[in-house]
């Protein structure tokens, strides 16, 4: 295989999906430890500082962790793993959804005591849109968790995906002894208290061995029976079903105890798919194509307070980035030479010399890059499937100092391009309406407006129930609608006509009255 295709085939690009507190941060740290990206556990910044008193502080701390770890790359067993961080707070779920469009697989972490939780269900639904292959890790085996068979059942019922246990836990809580691999017939023994280091893999070959009998003691026969039951009642691992997103291999372990994570990662780098092809409006693009292409899925400000700039995260879909190469910014139809793409290592930004399909690079954004933008080596491609969701909460935003309305507009425009909040300019007034998915985003907007744009803004309630993007094939009809409904129409930050419905009933009435007009709850970038 030529060098480039070899490098691409080695990439494993994924994100972790889980409910808050299931152990995402902890397992991330152990993965980095295994990948030699950090030396001692505890060096990934925790999000629960002792002074986290308000929601706002929590968010700042979460931003703290994102700053150091937006994209983590480490080599492992001949592969190159890219782990994309997603914000933990629900108010930033849009960001998470879009990050999931940039991965080829996902790791679902489940708290064994709590089972499948609400946030996990939502994120799985997003993964299903693209049939993303899912690995599952049932965490916290060092505690008394729920019956593993029941948990498997819940995964299947609630998440509508088949679960194929790869290893099976031997006891739990204080008596947790390790896991038994159903395919290799090896027991990996658990040693408590080794969470911060890379403990040796203590193996027992064969469930029939004397060592296995000694380990299990009086429980030996019961365990044999349990294993038989599990083998009979659960699904076999099947590569095709896994790659189609229909079946998930399930691993048990404890992230805090750094146990079971290595076994999972070993299989992950083997089984998880290399960079997959992507759909563009014009055609499908295969990762193996030599010409560079990629799309922006996330924009983050203040990656480094000293630089005060914004980084656009680009997923490379095909080919290779070389420092100093010429790219086409397709939406603007402009050629740009990029010599300063960055990545992040241990919290520091590093210039990227080269990166290949599957990798994520950070582009400096001086206001010309938006979420969903495609970059290529020349071809006019537009990647699809990067969603924008109608906000659920709305506020009118007002200035304390009316002289600063230019700064306010600029600030809001830039914040909306980052995708975390949306701004609407009503056709018939000079107000500005901010829409968000979560309450916390409003706080972020005022904080950042003050901090970065030096404008003090405050919110007022506004009578908006929901927003819908307006589409219509018929220009005449659209114009008529524009006139008749002008009081409810706005232009959003991306220049799209948007209907701000005051009530649910009003929206229903309008949809009925204007059958030629489409009112869409999502729009693609």
Nearer to ligand GDP, 20 or 347 (CB): 20
Binding range to ligand GDP, per CB under 6 A, among 24-32, 95-103, 221-229, 416-424:
24-32
Single out the residue of 89, 140, 188, 298 in contact with ligand GDP (rule: CB under 6 A). 140
As measured in angstroms, the least distance from the Cβ of 119 to ligand GDP is 10
Helix (H, G, I), strand (E, B), or coil: what is residue 302?
Answer: coil
As measured in angstroms, the least distance from the Cβ of 198 to ligand GDP is 16
238 binds ligand GDP (CB under 6 A): no
DSSP 475-488: HHHHHHHHHHTGGG
Single out the residue of 11, 24, 98, 395 in contact with ligand GDP (rule: CB under 6 A). 24
Q: Token digits for 315?
A: 């997923």
Query: Annotation-wise, does 75 bind a ligand?
Result: no
Helix (H, G, I), strand (E, B), or coil: what is residue 457?
Answer: strand
Query: Annotation-wise, does 274 bind a ligand?
Result: no
Strand partners of residue 414:
none
As measured in angstroms, the least distance from the Cβ of 251 to ligand GDP is 12
As measured in angstroms, the least distance from the Cβ of 311 to ligand GDP is 23
Binding mask 72-91 toward ligand GDP (x if CB under 6 A, else -) reads ----------------x---
Phi-psi region of 173 (alpha: psi -120 to 50; beta: other; left: phi over 0): left
Q: For 6, list phi and psi in degrees, rounded to 5.
A: -65, -45
Binding range to ligand GDP, per CB under 6 A, among 139-147, 400-408, 413-421, 459-467:
139-147
The DSSP output letter for 347 is T
Considering only residues 254 to 293 of the shown chain, the ones binding ligand GDP according to CB under 6 A are 254-257
As measured in angstroms, the least distance from the Cβ of 20 to ligand GDP is 4
Contact 236, 223 (CB under 8 A): no
Q: For 418, list phi and psi in degrees, rounded to 5.
A: -70, -15
26 binds ligand GDP (CB under 6 A): yes
Nearer to ligand GDP, 134 or 510 (CB): 134
Query: Annotation-wise, does 141 bind a ligand?
Result: yes
Cα–Cα distances in Å, from 513 out to 120, 427, 472, 510? 38, 21, 14, 5
Single out the residue of 162, 164, 159, 188 nearest to residue 176, CA to CA. 188
143 binds ligand GDP (CB under 6 A): yes
139 binds ligand GDP (CB under 6 A): yes
456 binds ligand GDP (CB under 6 A): no
Q: What is the C-alpha end-to-end distance of the chain, expressed in Å?
A: 36
Single out the residue of 10, 15, 22, 360 in contact with ligand GDP (rule: CB under 6 A). 22
Single out the residue of 441, 483, 485 nearest to residue 459, CA to CA. 441
Report the C-alpha gap between 317 and 427 in whole angstroms.
38
Nearer to ligand GDP, 42 or 378 (CB): 42
As measured in angstroms, the least distance from the Cβ of 30 to ligand GDP is 9
Report the C-alpha gap between 315 and 325 in whole angstroms.
16
Query: Annotation-wise, does 19 bind a ligand?
Result: yes
As measured in angstroms, the least distance from the Cβ of 192 to ligand GDP is 11
Cα–Cα distances in Å, from 444 out to 81, 412, 423, 459, 462? 32, 11, 14, 13, 19
* Half-sphere exposure for 250 (CA within 13 Å, toward CB): 26
As measured in angstroms, the least distance from the Cβ of 169 to ligand GDP is 12
Helix (H, G, I), strand (E, B), or coil: what is residue 355?
Answer: strand
# residues near ligand GDP by CB under 6 A = 17
Single out the residue of 91, 95, 142, 418 in contact with ligand GDP (rule: CB under 6 A). 142
The DSSP output letter for 201 is -
Annotated binding site: 18-25, 85-89, 139-142
Chain residues that interact with ligand GDP, rule: CB under 6 A:
18, 20-26, 88, 139-140, 142-143, 254-257
Binding residues for GTP: 18-25, 85-89, 139-142
């Amino acid at each position: 295989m030529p060098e480039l295709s070899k490098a691409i085939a080695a990439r494993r690009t994924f994100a972790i999906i889980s409910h808050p507190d299931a152990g995402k941060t902890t397992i991330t740290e152990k993965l980095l430890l295994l990948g030699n990206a950090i030396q001692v556990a505890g060096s990934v910044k925790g999000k629960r500082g002792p002074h986290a008193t308000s929601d706002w502080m929590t968010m700042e701390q979460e931003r703290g962790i994102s700053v150091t770890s937006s994209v983590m790359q480490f080599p492992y067993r001949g592969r190159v793993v890219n782990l994309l961080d997603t914000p933990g707070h629900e108010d930033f779920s849009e960001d998470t959804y879009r990050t999931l469009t940039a991965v080829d697989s996902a790791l679902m972490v489940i708290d064994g005591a709590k089972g499948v939780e609400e946030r996990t269900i939502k994120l799985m639904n997003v993964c299903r849109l693209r049939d993303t292959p899912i690995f599952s890790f049932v965490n916290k085996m060092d505690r008394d968790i729920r019956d593993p068979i029941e948990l498997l059942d819940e995964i299947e019922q609630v998440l509508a995906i088949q679960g194929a246990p790869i290893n099976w836990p031997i006891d739990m809580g204080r008596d947790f002894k390790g896991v038994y691999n159903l395919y290799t017939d090896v027991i990996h023994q658990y040693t408590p208290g080794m969470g911060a280091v890379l403990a040796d893999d203590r193996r027992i070959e064969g469930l029939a061995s004397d060592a296995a009998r000694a380990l299990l003691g009086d429980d030996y026969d019961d365990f044999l029976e349990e294993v038989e039951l599990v083998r009979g009642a659960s699904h076999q691992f099947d590569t095709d079903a896994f790659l189609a997103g229909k079946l998930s291999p399930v691993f048990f372990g404890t992230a805090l105890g750094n146990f079971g994570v290595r076994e999972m990662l070993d299989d992950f780098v083997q089984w998880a798919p290399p960079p997959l092809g992507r759909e563009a409006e014009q055609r499908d693009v295969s990762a193996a194509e030599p010409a560079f292409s990629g799309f922006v899925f996330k924009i983050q400000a203040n990656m480094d307070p000293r630089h005060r700039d914004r980084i656009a995260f680009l997923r490379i879909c095909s080919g290779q980035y070389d420092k100093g190469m010429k790219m086409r910014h397709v939406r603007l139809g402009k050629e740009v030479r990029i010599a300063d793409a960055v990545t992040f290592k241990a919290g520091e930004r590093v210039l990227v010399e080269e990166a290949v399909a599957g990798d994520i690079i950070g582009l400096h954004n001086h206001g010309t890059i938006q979420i969903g933008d495609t970059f290529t080596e020349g071809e006019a491609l537009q990647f699809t499937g990067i969603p924008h969701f109608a906000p659920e909460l709305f506020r009118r935003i007002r200035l304390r100092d009316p002289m600063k309305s230019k700064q306010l507009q600029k600030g809001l425009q830039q914040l909306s391009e980052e995708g975390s909040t949306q701004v609407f300019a009503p056709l018939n007034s000079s107000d500005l309406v901010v829409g968000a998915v979560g309450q916390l985003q409003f706080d972020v907007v005022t904080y950042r407006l003050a901090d970065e744009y030096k404008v003090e803004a405050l919110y007022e309630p506004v009578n908006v129930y929901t927003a819908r993007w307006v589409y219509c094939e018929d220009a005449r009809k659209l114009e008529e609608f524009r006139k008749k409904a002008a009081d409810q129409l706005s232009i959003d930050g991306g220049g799209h006509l948007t209907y701000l419905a005051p009530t649910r009933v009003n929206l229903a009435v309008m949809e009925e009255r204007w059958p030629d007009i489409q009112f869409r709850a999502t729009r693609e970038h």
